[in-house]
C-alpha cells in the first residue's frame, strides 16, 4: 500500500491491477469485491459486475475489455469470435498479462505517471483543486464555475477503490462544462473547457451473458489490425497541450478506445479511516479530443433520427424512456451485415445462447448530470424479426393510447371550463391529462411483451393482450384524473364525455392486430 519517494519519505501507492475495486455478484448470489486480475481469473464464476452506479459498472467493463485487448486475449475474426463465445474461451491469459506488468506503471499514485491521470497538474493541485466529491459525477452538480461550490470542499477522504471507479467513470461519461481552474490562470482556457466524453452523449449497449466471462467475450470485437495503445497515464504519449487549440487525434486501436482519458485529472492521496489509502483533493481539467470515430469503433452504436431529421447515435433522454427506443435495438440486429458489429455478431449465435442487451446512458442538462438511465432487453438469435415487430408495434400501440388520453383530456377541459382564460389553458388541460402516468405504467407490460416475443407464444396473441392491458390502464388512469371534477351537472357531463371520447378514440386506427373471427 505504500512506496518510497526519492526523498525517502513514505508515500501512498495503490495498484489498480491487484487492489480490490470491482464489486460483483457470484453465480450463487453472493456479493464480493475483487481486483481486476481476480475478476478476469474468476470471470466465469461471477454473474456480473455490480458497481454502485450504472456508469461505474460500464466503466469497469470498459477497463477489463481494454486489458483483454492489450494482452492479446481477443479474437481476430468473426468465426474465431463465435468459437470464443460458444466454447467459453478462458480469460486467464488476460489476468496473467495484467499481473506480469511493471507495478509502477499501474500505481494510482505514482508521482511521475499516476495511472489514468495527468501529473502535469501537480503544481496547481493544492491551490485550485477541490474536495474528492468533484470526482464523482453524481455528486458534483453543475460543472459551471460561476457560483459557490462549497459542497465540493467537503474534507472527507474518498477511499482509493471508490476514487478509482469514479476516475474511470469520469473518463467514460463526464459531461461538458467548465473546470474549476480559472481561465485567467497560467493554464488558460484550453484546459478549463471540458468536452463531453466518449459515452457522455450517447447510449452504450452491452451484450450480457450468463456470467461476466460471457459478457466480456460477447463484447470483445475482432480487430485484426492490432489492439493499439493502452492509455495508462497522461504523459505516456503526446496529447493535447494546455495553450494551443488541439485537433482531435485518431484512435489507434480498441485498447486505446476503451482507455481514452476523457478528463485531465490529478488526485491527491491521503490516509483514510484505519490508515487505508484515500483521496482528499482532486483537480479536473479538459481531456483528450478525438477525431470522428470510424465504424469499427462504434460496435454497439444504435442510430436514431433527431427532430431536425439528422441521424446520430441514440442519446439518453429525461423525457423518453429507453424502452420506447427498443425497436431501434432490434432494427440494428436485423439490418446489420453478419459479423460486422455487435449486433451482426450476436445474430450469428445459436438459439440456445440468448443474450440480454443492457442499454445505459447519462442524462445531462447542459453541464449538469441529472440521472442515469438504463434498461435491459431480451435477444434470442433467430427471433430478431419477432422482437423487432413486437417492439415497433408495441411502441405504436403505446403512442396511440397516449394520443387518445390527450384527446380525452381536451374533451374534459372544454366541458369543465366553458370560458377559460388563454393563459390558464395549458394548466387546466394538464389537470385531466394522464399521459405521464400512462408512460410510467406501460414499461412493465412492454417488457412482458418482449419476453413473450422472445419465447414461443404467438406474437399476435401477445400484442392483443398487451393492447388490452394498456386500454384498461388508460381507462383507469383517466378515471383517476376525472375524479377531481365536482359532483355537479357540468362535472358529470365532463366525466361522461371524456370517458366516451377515450372509448371512441381507442377503437380508431388501433395498431394492435385485429381479433380473428371465430371459425364458423
Phi, then psi, of 125 in degrees rounded to 5: -65, -50
Listed in order, strand segments (DSSP E) in 272-387 are 277-286, 303-305, 311-313, 355-365, 368-379
478-508 confidence digits (pLDDT tens): 999 999 999 999 999 999 999 999 999 999 9
Summary mean pLDDT of the chain:
90
Residue 248 has what pLDDT? 85
DSSP state of 263: E
334-381 confidence digits (pLDDT tens): 777 666 799 999 999 999 999 999 999 999 887 788 899 999 999 999
Give the 3-state secondary structure percentages of the chain, helix then strand then coil, rounded to 5.
45, 15, 40
The model carries a pTM of: 0.92
- Name the one residue in this structure whose C-alpha cell is 381507442: 506
Residue 58 has what pLDDT? 98
278-311 confidence digits (pLDDT tens): 999 999 988 888 899 999 999 999 998 888 888 8
251-271 confidence digits (pLDDT tens): 999 999 999 999 999 999 998
Confidence class of residue 520 from pLDDT cuts 50, 70 and 90? Answer: very low
Please give the Cα distance from 290 to 285 (Å, whole number). 16
Dihedral of the alpha carbons of 414, 419, 421, 427, in degrees to the nearest 10 = -30
35-73 confidence digits (pLDDT tens): 999 999 999 999 999 999 999 999 999 999 999 999 999
Residue 96 has what pLDDT? 98
Residue 178 has what pLDDT? 72
Grid cell, residue 252, equals 489507434
Instruction: Report domain extents, the chain.
Output: 2-295, 296-382, 385-506
Confidence class of residue 138 from pLDDT cuts 50, 70 and 90? Answer: confident
Please give the Cα distance from 413 to 418 (Å, whole number). 8
Is it the case that residue 517 has pLDDT exceeding 80? no
178-237 confidence digits (pLDDT tens): 776 655 555 556 677 788 899 999 999 999 999 999 999 999 999 988 999 999 999 998
Residue 151 has what pLDDT? 55
Three-state secondary-structure class, residue 397: helix
Residue 185 has what pLDDT? 58
Is it the case that residue 141 has pLDDT exceeding 90? no
410-450 confidence digits (pLDDT tens): 999 999 999 889 999 999 999 999 999 999 999 999 999 99
Q: Is residue 93 within 8 Å of residue 84, measured between CB atoms?
A: no
Q: List the single range of 324-333, 385-394, 443-452, 473-482 with lowest mean pLDDT.
A: 324-333
- Max mean pLDDT range (98-107, 124-133, 416-425): 98-107
Is it the case that residue 392 has pLDDT exceeding 80? yes
The correct CATH number of 385-506 out of 3.40.50.2300, 3.40.50.280, 1.10.132.100, 3.40.50.1000 is 1.10.132.100
What is the DSSP annotation of 171-198? HHH---EE-SS-TTSTT-HHHHEEPP-T
Amino acid at each position: 500500500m505504500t512506496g518510497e519517494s526519492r526523498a525517502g519519505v513514505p508515500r501512498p501507492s495503490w495498484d489498480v491491477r491487484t487492489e480490490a475495486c470491482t464489486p460483483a455478484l457470484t453465480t450463487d448470489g453472493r456479493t464480493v469485491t475483487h481486483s481486476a486480475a481476480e475478476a478476469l481469473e474468476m470471470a466465469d464464476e461471477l454473474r456480473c459486475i455490480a458497481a454502485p452506479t450504472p456508469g461505474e459498472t460500464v466503466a469497469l467493463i470498459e477497463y477489463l475489455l481494454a486489458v483483454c485487448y492489450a494482452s492479446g486475449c481477443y479474437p481476430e475474426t468473426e468465426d474465431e469470435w463465435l468459437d470464443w463465445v460458444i466454447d467459453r474461451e478462458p480469460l486467464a491469459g488476460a489476468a496473467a498479462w495484467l499481473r506480469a506488468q511493471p507495478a509502477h506503471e499501474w500505481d494510482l499514485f505514482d508521482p511521475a505517471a499516476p495511472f489514468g491521470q495527468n501529473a502535469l497538474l501537480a503544481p496547481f493541485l493544492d491551490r485550485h483543486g477541490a474536495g474528492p466529491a468533484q470526482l464523482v459525477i453524481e455528486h458534483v452538480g453543475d460543472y459551471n464555475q460561476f457560483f459557490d461550490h462549497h459542497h465540493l470542499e467537503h474534507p472527507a477522504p474518498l477511499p482509493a477503490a471508490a476514487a478509482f471507479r469514479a476516475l474511470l467513470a469520469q473518463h467514460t461519461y463526464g459531461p461538458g462544462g467548465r473546470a474549476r481552474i480559472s481561465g485567467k490562470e497560467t493554464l488558460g482556457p484550453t484546459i478549463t473547457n471540458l468536452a463531453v466524453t466518449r459515452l457522455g452523449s450517447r447510449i452504450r449497449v452491452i451484450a450480457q451473458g450468463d456470467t461476466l466471462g460471457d459478457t466480456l467475450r460477447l463484447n470483445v470485437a475482432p480487430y485484426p489490425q492490432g489492439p493499439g495503445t493502452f492509455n495508462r497515464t497522461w504523459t505516456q504519449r503526446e496529447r493535447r497541450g494546455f495553450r494551443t487549440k488541439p485537433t482531435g487525434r485518431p484512435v489507434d486501436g480498441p485498447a486505446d478506445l476503451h482507455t481514452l482519458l476523457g478528463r485531465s485529472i490529478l488526485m491527491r492521496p491521503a490516509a483514510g479511516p484505519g490508515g487505508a489509502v484515500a483521496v482528499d483533493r482532486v483537480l479536473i481539467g479538459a481531456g483528450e479530443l478525438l477525431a470522428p470515430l470510424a465504424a469499427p469503433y462504434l460496435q454497439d452504436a444504435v442510430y436514431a433520427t433527431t427532430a431536425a431529421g439528422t441521424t446520430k447515435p441514440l442519446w439518453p433522454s429525461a423525457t423518453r424512456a429507453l424502452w420506447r427506443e427498443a425497436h431501434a435495438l432490434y432494427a440494428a440486429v436485423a439490418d446489420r451485415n453478419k459479423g460486422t458489429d455487435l449486433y451482426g455478431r450476436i445474430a450469428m449465435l445459436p438459439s440456445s445462447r440468448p443474450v440480454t442487451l443492457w442499454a445505459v446512458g447519462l442524462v445531462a442538462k447542459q453541464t449538469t448530470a441529472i440521472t442515469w438511465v438504463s434498461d435491459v432487453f431480451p435477444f434470442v438469435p433467430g427471433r430478431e424479426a419477432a422482437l423487432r415487430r413486437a417492439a415497433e408495434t408495441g411502441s405504436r400501440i403505446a403512442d396511440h393510447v397516449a394520443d387518445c388520453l390527450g384527446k380525452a383530456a381536451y374533451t374534459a377541459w372544454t366541458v369543465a371550463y366553458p370560458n377559460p382564460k388563454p393563459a390558464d389553458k395549458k394548466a387546466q388541460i394538464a389537470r385531466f391529462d394522464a399521459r405521464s402516468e400512462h408512460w410510467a405504467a406501460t414499461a412493465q407490460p412492454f417488457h412482458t411483451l418482449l419476453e413473450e416475443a422472445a419465447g414461443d407464444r404467438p406474437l399476435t396473441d401477445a400484442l392483443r393482450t398487451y393492447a388490452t392491458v394498456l386500454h384498461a390502464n388508460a381507462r383507469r388512469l383517466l378515471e383517476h384524473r376525472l375524479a377531481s371534477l365536482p359532483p355537479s351537472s357540468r362535472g358529470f357531463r365532463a366525466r361522461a364525455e371524456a370517458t366516451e371520447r377515450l372509448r371512441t378514440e381507442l377503437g380508431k386506427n388501433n395498431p394492435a392486430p385485429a381479433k380473428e373471427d371465430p371459425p364458423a
